[in-house]
């Protein structure tokens, strides 16, 4: 620590910030109206200092959180000298507000201490609809941002405590579900009010002078820890290439190439060689690209580093203009989440070469986003949820089923809530056997969810991935099973593209089944502990046939329907499989 700071006091203040950011998140979640915000928790909260640097992140979504600083800096650059107590700012546009995509609306409240701008209570929430060509405003087929919905530069939603009714009216007029959008916006405003109140209280308590000192101390402390962590990683250049399947019925792969350069205490991330921006809504604004790098690198740092701006200082991110990771206007960005997830996955692929013990093999890859829309009782409804997920195997463990992607710590929506609110019935939610990539540590199983549409004229659109390029394994582990979108599975079923550029109209009784990809395996499946394979068979996670074919584990059915391990036959089977491999290698 550079200055004469009391470590206990630093911790009290740091935890005070964390608590405020978490409290803002709780209040936003509890007062919000749309399932995607209140149940799936597709929103984030952060407390920033007077310079817009993040002090604390609510326990929410890292891909949002790393994007806050650029938006706040943009806001400050445009409004410096014209920011007053009681102001509340709103903005969403990637190009006019350093935003992420139009559904993610920022609400930011400046905080004044003794008359000086000293902090910001900031929130971003994924709104269920912001207009545009399709319900849910995730128009994968959008060629330009103008097609994606309502664009908001940073504007004053409140000025010196007075609401700007015109903005509220414009928002209401441009979205399909004004009640939900305004309700969620109010929840964001309330969260910033609470953030302001608590931040002021913390200053009153600790003293403004001390707070200034400890805020700098906190950034320096986080930077110092991050530098030590990076210094421990082996120096070198680590590269990785990953793909998104592509858009529509005839998808063209979208290539991600990353070069990670770890040198001493610093690391640079460069995306040269990545596909040019596309005529589709999956271009990721550059602040989001930076957030992906921060999230992936933070995830392989072991110690308990404060999640404030300071930890990002030793990290540099670059990308060529006009790529899918640094698009130029008017590229569309509505479904850019998928690109953020893929950047993290790609970075993890590179990091597997530098810090193999701290990563997992590839997983299902962030959220799948199905959106159902229609009219009920004369009012429009839009329902979308973020489906996750599994991870690949790691050096120490099998992949996990039912965990969030590190890019977005979000939740599933309770089935009982969906069915109480929308003309949809969920008929299946569970694991798919034999879908985890084989490995010494098996990849997590695919997760399947079925939606029965209970009303005619229901629009469906889906953002998914990893069918043509399923999650890769590591160190000899196999890839996981590919993802799938099916209408009315069985005879006469219809497969839908991973990224639907146009919504599909479903009739009453239609069934949509989404199956996520399985996680990749870690290590050679022939080294998997046979009792672990037996356990998987007993749990119906792996079939006996799959156990024999991929793991070389031979099981015998018992009289009571149980299974037991045939150790001798397993040994012989594994020898045969190894010999076959060697033969294939020689040929």
Which residues inside 4-23 make contact with another protein, applying CB under 8 A?
8, 11-12, 15-16, 18-20, 22
Q: Quick check: 410 binds another protein (CB under 8 A)?
A: yes
Smallest separation (angstroms) from another protein to the CB of 405: 9
Which positions from 342 through 401 interact with another protein, judged by CB under 8 A?
348, 358-360, 388-389, 391, 394, 396-397, 400-401
Q: Quick check: 98 binds another protein (CB under 8 A)?
A: no
Q: Kindly tell me which of 283 and 515 has the beta carbon lying closer to another protein.
A: 515
- Out of 5, 27, 134, 382, which residue is the one contacting another protein (CB under 8 A)? 27
Q: Quick check: 481 binds another protein (CB under 8 A)?
A: no
Q: Alpha-carbon distance 554 to 556, whole Å?
A: 7
- Out of 50, 58, 91, 314, which residue is the one contacting another protein (CB under 8 A)? 58
The count of chain residues that interact with another protein, using the rule CB under 8 A, is 82
Q: Kindly tell me which of 432 and 504 has the beta carbon lying closer to another protein.
A: 432
Site string for another protein, 307-346 (x = CB under 8 A): x---------------------------------------
Q: Quick check: 447 binds another protein (CB under 8 A)?
A: yes
- Out of 73, 228, 259, 425, which residue is the one contacting another protein (CB under 8 A)? 425
Q: Alpha-carbon distance 102 to 137, whole Å?
A: 8
Contact 356, 386 (CB under 8 A): no
Dihedrals phi, psi of 77, to nearest 5 degrees: -60, -35
DSSP assigned state of 434: T
Smallest separation (angstroms) from another protein to the CB of 187: 9
Q: Kindly tell me which of 65 and 331 has the beta carbon lying closer to another protein.
A: 65
Smallest separation (angstroms) from another protein to the CB of 82: 26
Q: Kindly tell me which of 147 and 409 has the beta carbon lying closer to another protein.
A: 409
Smallest separation (angstroms) from another protein to the CB of 516: 11
Q: Tell me which stretch binds another protein (CB under 8 A): 24-32, 107-115, 435-443, 490-498.
A: 24-32
Which positions from 196 through 255 interact with another protein, judged by CB under 8 A?
197-198, 202, 205
Taking CA atoms, 446 is separated from 321, 397, 470, 516, 542, in Å, by: 36, 17, 11, 5, 12
Give the count of beta carbons closer than 10 Å to the beta carbon of residue 539.
11
- Out of 203, 309, 541, 546, which residue is the one contacting another protein (CB under 8 A)? 541
Contact 152, 93 (CB under 8 A): yes
| Helix (H) or strand (E) segment spanning residue 504 | strand 504-506
Which positions from 152 through 191 interact with another protein, judged by CB under 8 A?
179-180, 183, 186, 190
| Helix (H) or strand (E) segment spanning residue 424 | strand 424-432
* DSSP character string of 532-581: HHHHHHHTTSS-HHHHHHHH---EEE-TTS-EEE-HHHHHHHHHHHHHHH
Q: Are strands 315-318 and 266-270 parallel, antiparallel or unpaired?
A: parallel
- Out of 540, 564, 580, 581, which residue is the one contacting another protein (CB under 8 A)? 540
Q: Quick check: 299 binds another protein (CB under 8 A)?
A: yes
Structure tokens at 169: 């009216």
Smallest separation (angstroms) from another protein to the CB of 15: 4
Q: Quick check: 509 binds another protein (CB under 8 A)?
A: no
Q: Quick check: 406 binds another protein (CB under 8 A)?
A: yes
Contact 508, 462 (CB under 8 A): no
Q: Quick check: 123 binds another protein (CB under 8 A)?
A: no
Q: Which of 500, 493, 512 is nearest to 462 (CA)?
A: 500
- Out of 221, 240, 372, 431, which residue is the one contacting another protein (CB under 8 A)? 431
Q: Which of 558, 562, 574, 566 is nearest to 525 (CA)?
A: 574
Taking CA atoms, 103 is separated from 43, 295, 549, in Å, by: 11, 21, 46
SS3 content of the chain, % helix, strand, coil (to 5): 35, 25, 40
Q: Quick check: 557 binds another protein (CB under 8 A)?
A: no
């Amino acid at each position: 620590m550079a200055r004469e700071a009391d470590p206990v006091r630093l911790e009290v203040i740091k935890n005070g910030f964390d608590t405020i950011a978490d409290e803002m998140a709780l209040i936003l979640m509890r007062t919000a109206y749309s399932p995607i915000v209140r149940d799936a928790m597709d929103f984030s909260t952060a407390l920033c200092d007077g310079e817009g640097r993040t002090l604390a992140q609510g326990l929410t979504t890292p891909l949002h959180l790393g994007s806050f600083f650029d938006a706040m800096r943009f806001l400050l650059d445009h409004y410096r000298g014209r920011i007053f107590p009681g102001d509340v700012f709103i903005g969403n546009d990637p190009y006019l507000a350093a935003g992420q995509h139009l559904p993610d609306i920022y609400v930011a409240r400046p905080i004044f201490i003794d008359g000086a701008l000293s902090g910001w209570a900031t929130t971003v929430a994924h709104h269920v609809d912001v207009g545009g060509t399709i319900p849910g405003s995730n128009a994968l087929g959008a060629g330009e941002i103008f097609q994606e919905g309502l664009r908001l530069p940073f504007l004053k939603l409140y000025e010196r405590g007075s609401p700007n009714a015109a903005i509220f009216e414009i928002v209401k007029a441009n979205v399909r579900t004004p009640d939900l959008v305004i309700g969620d916006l109010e929840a964001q405003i309330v969260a910033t009010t609470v953030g302001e109140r608590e931040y002021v209280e913390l200053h009153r308590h600790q003293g403004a002078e001390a707070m200034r000192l400890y805020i700098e101390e906190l950034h320096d402390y986080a930077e110092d820890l991050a530098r030590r962590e990076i210094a421990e990683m082996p120096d070198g250049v680590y590269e990785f290439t990953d793909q998104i399947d592509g858009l529509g019925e005839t998808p063209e792969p979208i290539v991600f190439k990353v070069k990670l350069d770890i040198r001493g205490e610093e690391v640079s991330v460069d995306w040269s060689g990545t596909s040019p921006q596309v005529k589709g809504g999956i271009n990721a604004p550059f602040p989001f690209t930076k957030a992906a790098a921060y999230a992936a690198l933070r995830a392989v740092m072991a110690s308990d580093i404060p999640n404030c701006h300071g930890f990002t200082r030793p990290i540099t991110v670059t990308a060529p203009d006009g790529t899918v990771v640094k698009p130029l206007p008017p590229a569309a960005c509505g479904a850019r989440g998928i690109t953020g997830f893929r950047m993290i996955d790609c970075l993890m692929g590179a990091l597997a070469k530098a810090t193999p013990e701290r990563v997992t093999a590839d997983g299902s890859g962030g959220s799948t986003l199905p959106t159902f829309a229609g009219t009920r009782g004369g009012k429009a409804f839009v329902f979308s949820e973020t489906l996750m997920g599994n991870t690949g195997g790691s050096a120490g463990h099998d992949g996990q089923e039912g965990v969030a992607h590190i890019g977005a710590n979000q939740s599933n929506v309770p089935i009982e809530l969906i069915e109480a609110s929308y003309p949809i019935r969920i008929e299946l939610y569970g694991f798919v056997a034999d879908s985890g990539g084989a490995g010494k540590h098996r990849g997590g199983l695919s997760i399947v969810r079925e939606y029965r549409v209970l009303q005619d004229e229901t629009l469906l659109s889906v953002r998914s991935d990893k069918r043509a390029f399923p999650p890769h394994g590591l160190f000899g582990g196999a890839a996981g099973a590919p993802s799938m979108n099916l209408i009315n599975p069985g005879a006469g079923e219809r497969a839908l593209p991973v990224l639907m550029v146009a919504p599909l109209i479903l009739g009453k009784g239609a069934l949509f089944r989404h199956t996520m990809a399985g996680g990749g395996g870690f290590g050679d499946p022939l080294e998997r502990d046979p009792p672990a394979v037996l356990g998987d068979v007993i749990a119906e996670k792996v079939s006996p046939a799959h156990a024999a074919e991929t793991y070389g584990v031979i099981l015998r059915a018992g009289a009571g329907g149980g299974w037991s391990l045939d150790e001798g036959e397993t040994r012989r089977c594994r020898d045969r499989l190894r010999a076959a491999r060697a033969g294939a290698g020689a040929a």
